[in-house]
């Protein structure tokens, strides 16, 4: 006889949206998600991109049905400020790791460091660090690293859109980086040290932007917990259509019923933001709103000039 499994109670109903947490040092991204589940009293909470425990800053959370929108937002550009320490290499490429090499001799001068940093601008190939959540045969690399194992990893293309050095106070290099998702700033630090011939590791990092979400929108876990205790947390959610930053289409009740069942609608019958801006082109995505103003779906304009639903949110 099979063992009876207890079914989880469904989450209580409530608004969906996004919350931006200013993650402190020491917490993992999963720790923050667990905290948010307690604030809302729900299970359906996700995050848009892991931050290392050492890192701080912008960690956007998707609440309730907004978790369905993570694929549409996770590809946004990331921005970081951080500090790279020259002369010391570690096995994790950051300050939490074990020192593997200490440079003897003078450190490179400022022009050399600036030139080396600028060489990373554009599309580059990065090797994921062993201490990372990238999986090898289904096993996260960090688990293998903790056992003392090192396995072959594949280079991954990432893009460094901009990188600057606001200050050089040897041995510390202040950096400001705008990059594609999937970029490891720890690896960037280690690669910089290798290029300069002195070794380096990342000693501090703050994410200031993740896609449309910024540090100005972020609050500490303690601040969000206080709002939760006051019953004001859900009112602070960023609405899904605002986060998406897509042109909006306002559906009629009839259109909403069709879209809710997965049907496409003629673009010629839609009204929305594009009436005062550039008309959408095939391949463009739009946010389809219910007559009440809530987001129903993300839709795509196809060459047939019909709007096809890509992701439905109603009933999430």
52 catalytic residue (yes or no): yes
CB 95 within 8 A of CB 89: no
Task: Say if CB 249 and CB 258 are below 8 A apart.
Answer: no
Calpha distance 89→191 (Å, rounded):
10
Please give the helix or strand (H or E) that residue 87 lies within, else none. none
Max CA distance (Å), the chain = 74
Please give the Cα distance from 126 to 188 (Å, whole number).
8
Range 283-286, long-range pairs (CB < 8 A, 24+ positions): 284/247, 285/72, 285/246, 285/310, 286/246, 286/247, 286/248, 286/249
Q: What is the C-alpha radius of gyration for the chain, rounded to an integer number of angstroms?
A: 23
| Length of the chain measured in residues | 316
Q: What is the dihedral of CA 53, 58, 63, 65, to 10 degrees?
A: -110
Annotated catalytic residue: which of 22, 31, 34, 52? Answer: 52
Q: Is 267 helix (H, G, I), strand (E, B) or coil?
A: helix
Active site residues: 52
């Amino acid at each position: 006889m099979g063992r009876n499994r207890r079914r989880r109670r469904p989450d209580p109903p409530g608004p969906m949206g996004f919350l931006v947490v200013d993650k402190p040092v020491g917490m993992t991204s999963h720790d923050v998600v667990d905290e948010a589940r307690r604030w809302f009293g729900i299970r359906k909470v996700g995050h848009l991109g892991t931050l290392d425990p050492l890192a701080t800053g912008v960690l956007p959370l998707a609440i309730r049905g907004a978790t369905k929108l993570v694929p549409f937002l996770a590809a946004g550009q990331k921005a970081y400020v951080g500090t790279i320490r020259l002369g010391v290499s570690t096995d994790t490429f950051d300050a939490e790791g074990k020192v593997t090499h200490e440079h003897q001799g003078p450190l490179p001068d400022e022009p050399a460091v600036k030139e080396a940093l600028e060489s990373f601008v554009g599309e580059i190939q990065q090797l994921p660090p062993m201490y990372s959540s990238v999986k090898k045969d289904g096993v996260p690399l960090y688990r293998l690293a903790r056992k003392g194992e090192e396995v072959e990893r594949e280079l991954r293309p990432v893009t460094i859109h901009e990188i600057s050095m606001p200050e050089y106070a040897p041995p510390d290099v202040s950096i400001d980086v705008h990059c594609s998702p999937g970029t490891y700033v720890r690896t960037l630090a280690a690669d910089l040290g290798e290029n300069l011939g002195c070794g380096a590791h990342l000693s501090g990092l703050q994410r200031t932007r993740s896609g449309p979400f910024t540090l100005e929108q972020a609050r500490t876990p303690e601040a969000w917990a206080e709002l939760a205790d006051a019953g004001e947390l859900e009112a602070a959610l960023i609405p899904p259509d605002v986060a998406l930053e897509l042109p909006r289409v306002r559906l009629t009740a009839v259109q909403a019923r069709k879209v809710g069942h997965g049907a496409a609608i003629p673009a010629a019958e839609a009204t929305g933001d594009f009436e005062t801006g550039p008309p959408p082109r095939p391949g463009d995505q739009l946010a389809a709103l219910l007559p009440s103003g809530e987001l129903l779906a993300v839709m795509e304009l196809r060459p047939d000039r019909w709007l096809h639903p890509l992701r439905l949110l109603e009933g999430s």
